[in-house]
Structure 1
Amino acid sequence: MNRAIRNLILTGGIGHPFADAAPALERILAGAGVVSTVTDDVEGGLEALEEGGFDLLTVYALRWRMLGSEKYAPHRERWAFSLSQAGRERLSRFVTGGGGLLGLHTALICFDDWPEWKDLLGGAWVWGRSAHPPRGPVTLAFTTGNHPLTAGLPSFTVTDEAYGDFDLAGDVEPLATVASEGGSAWPALWARDAGRGRVVADTLGHDRASLEHPVHRQILTRAALWACRRPL
């Protein structure tokens, strides 16, 4: 019998109910045998990651430098963030060395001064270009049913944010797209190799209600298992 998957969830940031949603994610993944440690201390979490014992790293956070708009000024002291060189190396070594990476929603926006993050995750937000309509009904439509993450699942509609106009790595083949009502469809789910590791990115997940949608729950648990090379 396979031992439990050990997962590190990096979380925290502004504009999203992470304090409510991250524990919900922990519970959802627990249903697939994933035991998670949740922290908003990104650097400390990555130090623990390097010490060993983890199979999966989940980035469900909004941690970037917060440059530009002064609307971020009240939040910079607490949440503005630039990943250290040591943190970058720890994260990269974990994934390319064979660990799993699950990047949810705002993971695309994280680590904005680290170009290699796009190469690991497969996509990255571009300030001044990337955007999303106001949170509302969005539809996730699968582009293939042949991948283990999507096989047998129906398209679904949920209240969330449809991220668009971001950069994608050249080898990304989307498994699903997302669009708001009347909006353009953008890649919303992909799975790929990164060195000896596996990566899944899912651009949905603004809040607990999105994570707990029955189909989205299945995507999340399958993503964790697939990224760790466990039977689905």
Structure 2
Amino acid sequence: MTNSTHVVVLSGEGQHSDPWHPLQETSAALAGVLGEENEVTVVTSLDDLGARIGSADVLAVNASADRAEPVPDDTAFGRLLDGFLGRGGGLLAMHSSAVAFPGLPAWRSALGGTWKPGTSFHPPIGRTLIRKSALPHPLTEGLDEFWIFDERYTDLDFEPDVRLSPLYTHTENGATHRLVWTRTVGESRVLYDALGHDVRSFEAPEHVELLRRAVRWLSPRRS
């Protein structure tokens, strides 16, 4: 697999996790999906991330936070992220990563939208219909809306001057909310996927296909 895309999955632990998301399980499921076509390394500390990120083509962040204030690790992650995106690496951010690294400008800027305490919420987890947006995109070509058992993040807080390309949405309280979107940061591509609360999310074949396509699209090795 020496010529395959190298994906490093940062699986949150400790200050980069929360009591509600089984990150170890979802990181293993994500690694299993992506490992069918790529070389995948799962790390759980910033020291390990720092040692691996230099060879990574795609960084997948599956983390969270149960805090409102930053910690020193956040700043260290911001430096690694800036360097990674500065050389054109691709970023895949999963579900509760919209909650991760609170107060870190580099993270909010990279994603383009994050969870805002007191404003953002999600309806009860359950089987739900995810709708494809009308925006043409190679990641969704040939795919359609699909059913999945998951959470639907709602009323996320978006950067006002950041251009996002929504791929999938859901409807709540009569309004349409972005769930999966892409953007670019310099020469880097970014995809945020609000799905993935637990392993049932990876039982939806359409979600699995989207993630496989995402790595191909995100990788700087793309043709």
| TM-score interval, normalised by the smaller of the two chains | 0.7 to 0.9
Residue 55 of structure 1 aligns to which amino acid in structure 2?
A: D
Partner of 1:159: 149
Task: From 16, 23, 39, give the equivalent of 2:21.
Answer: 16
Aligned identity (percent) is: 34
Partner of 1:98: 88
User: Aligned equivalents of 1:205 and 1:10: distance in 2?
Assistant: 14
User: Aligned equivalents of 2:179 and 2:193: distance in 1?
Assistant: 6
Task: From 162, 176, 197, give the equivalent of 1:206.
Answer: 197
Uncovered stretches (5+) of structure 2, i.e. residues with no partner: none
Task: Tell me the CA shift for residue 157 of structure 1.
Answer: 1.4
Uncovered stretches (5+) of structure 1, i.e. residues with no partner: 69-79
Q: TM-score if structure 1 supplies the norm length?
A: 0.84
1:3 equivalent in alignment to 2:7: no
Residue 63 of structure 1 aligns to which amino acid in structure 2?
A: A
- 1:74-117 per-residue CA deviation (whole Å, 9 max, x = no partner) reads xxxxxx95534332111111013200100010111111121231
User: Aligned equivalents of 1:55 and 1:86: distance in 2?
Assistant: 20
Task: Tell me the CA shift for residue 229 of structure 1.
Answer: 4.3
Residue 37 of structure 1 aligns to which amino acid in structure 2?
A: T
Task: Tell me the CA shift for residue 119 of structure 1.
Answer: 1.1
Partner of 2:51: 48
Q: TM-score if structure 2 supplies the norm length?
A: 0.87
Task: Tell me the CA shift for residue 183 of structure 1.
Answer: 6.1
Residue 116 of structure 2 aligns to which amino acid in structure 1?
A: V
Task: From 151, 164, 167, give the equivalent of 1:175.
Answer: 167
SS of 1:206 mapped into structure 2: coil
Please say which of residues 198-207 and 19-28 is displaced more in the overlay: 19-28
